[in-house]
Amino acid sequence: MRRGARRGPRAATIPPYGNCAVLPPDSDVVMFRCNDDRRTWYLSRSLAAVVSEDPPVIRLTFKPNGPGHAADEYFTQVFENRCVVCGSRKNLSRHHILPDAYRRHFPRESEMRGVWMYDVLVLDVRCHENYEDHADALKDEIALEFGVPPEGIGNITREQIQVIKAAAALERAADKMPADRRERFERTLKDHLGKETLERSDYRVWKDIQRSIRPVTASKLVAERIRDLDDFAIRWRRHFVETMQPRFLPQHWDIERRIYSEPTTTRGQQS
């Protein structure tokens, strides 16, 4: 269905970046950085020990499955808590350059958690709101390119539509409609229910069908048709940069970077 009223971005109650360095148990090479919530999560489960409070550094107490982002200058840098567009340090929010509306439907979404953070940048609420209207327009444009109605579709079948019409009409006015019309509607309902005799309660089946309808969003339909996730992400980055002209992007953030084809997965990055 068509997108309804969009909930506006909200300012984060804590700084988006905690910048806590996470070290492996056997070296001082930073694997990635995490926020305060993730730092507390590790410490409360004895999965890490405090190395330093200022600057915040913890060391894992278990052997991780891989090196994380140890060799990646982007993910291991200290991130500034300021809007990448205007530089404001107040009323900050997280903005998903690659919209979450698509991302949640991608294969392996959960195991790519750390990699997705490449396309999450900090905006103040005003800049965030300014960009969302432009983003909605691009979503509609992309939907049409993929042959998808921008409002999405429902999962209702033609048969179900006929049953809803017949059952609803019977429930409202079965005793008042012409006999041939009632017989036609009842035959539709009997075929659907697999019954030869109907009870008045059977007329209410249309309500059950309506409750079972699950709209399919345009974003989900598009996500299922994307062939190259990196190309798709790059398109969104270009759109954001061209639209908002950000002046304070993090170091090493590259519009053209291909990061999703062979992702390095590590849990906890600034999430």
Instruction: Residue 236: name the closest of 148, 153, 131 by CA.
Output: 131
Kindly compute the dihedral angle of the four CA atoms of residues 157, 158, 160, 163, in this order, to the nearest 10 degrees: 180
pLDDT at 265: 46
pLDDT at 8: 66
What does the pLDDT look like over 214-269, one tens digit per residue? 788 899 999 999 999 999 999 999 999 999 999 999 999 999 999 988 654 444 45
User: In the predicted model, is pLDDT for residue 77 greater than 50?
Assistant: yes
Tell me the mean pLDDT in the region 148-172: 85
Most confident of 73-87, 102-116, 173-187: 73-87
pLDDT at 124: 95
**CA gap 58, 81 in Å, rounded:** 20
Share of the chain above pLDDT 70, in %: 92
**CA gap 222, 110 in Å, rounded:** 19
Tell me the mean pLDDT in the region 9-32: 90
In this prediction the pTM is: 0.74
Give the model's confidence band at 107: pLDDT under 50 very low, under 70 low, under 90 confident, else very high: confident
